[in-house]
């Protein structure tokens, strides 16, 4: 069973909506490739307006309010499939970010994985000490 189906707690007979995006620079070079998987209860389909911000569209069109997410970040090789999408060799190092997104009731909404080119992207985290 795929990680997306496990997180979304969906049995194999249910269809999971998948959204793929390749984002890049003005020069046309890709920087990141995303794959998002959405719980079937949301009712997303190809006719939704994916030109507007995703979480705004989920709230306005589907009544889903995203409340919390958790991320795992790791380094890996691009591999043949992701390497082709990002225009890098299969052995090229990429930053892999997995995001687990929940609604206000703690139910899974989205499983998202992003592959970032290591030569075009810096992941910055700003941490403030609380008193």
Question: Quick check: pTM over 0.95?
Answer: no
Helix, strand, coil: what percent of the chain each, to 5? 20, 40, 45
pLDDT score, position 5: 65
pLDDT score, position 25: 76
Give helix then strand counts, H and E, for the chain: 3, 5
Residue 78 pLDDT > 80 = yes
What is the tens place of the pLDDT at every residue in 81-125? 999 999 999 999 999 999 999 999 999 999 999 999 999 988 888
**Does an H or E element contain 7, and which?**
helix 3-7
Residue ranges and CATH numbers for the domains of the chain are 3-117 (3.40.1410.10)
pLDDT score, position 8: 77
Arithmetic mean of pLDDT over the chain? 90
- Comparing 131 with 8, the larger pLDDT belongs to 8
CA distance 23 to 36: 14
């Amino acid at each position: 069973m795929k990680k997306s189906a496990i997180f979304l707690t969906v049995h194999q007979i249910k269809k999971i909506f998948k959204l793929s995006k390749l984002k890049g620079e003005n020069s046309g070079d890709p920087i990141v490739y995303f794959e998002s998987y959405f719980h079937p209860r949301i009712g997303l389909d190809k006719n939704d307006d994916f030109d507007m911000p995703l979480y705004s569209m989920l709230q306005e069109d589907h009544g889903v309010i995203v409340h919390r997410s958790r991320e795992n970040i790791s380094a890996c090789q691009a591999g043949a499939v992701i390497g082709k999408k990002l225009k890098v060799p299969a052995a090229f190092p990429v930053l892999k970010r997995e995001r687990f997104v929940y609604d206000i009731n703690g139910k899974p909404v989205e499983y998202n994985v992003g592959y970032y080119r290591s030569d075009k992207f810096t992941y910055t985290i700003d941490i403030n000490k609380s008193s």
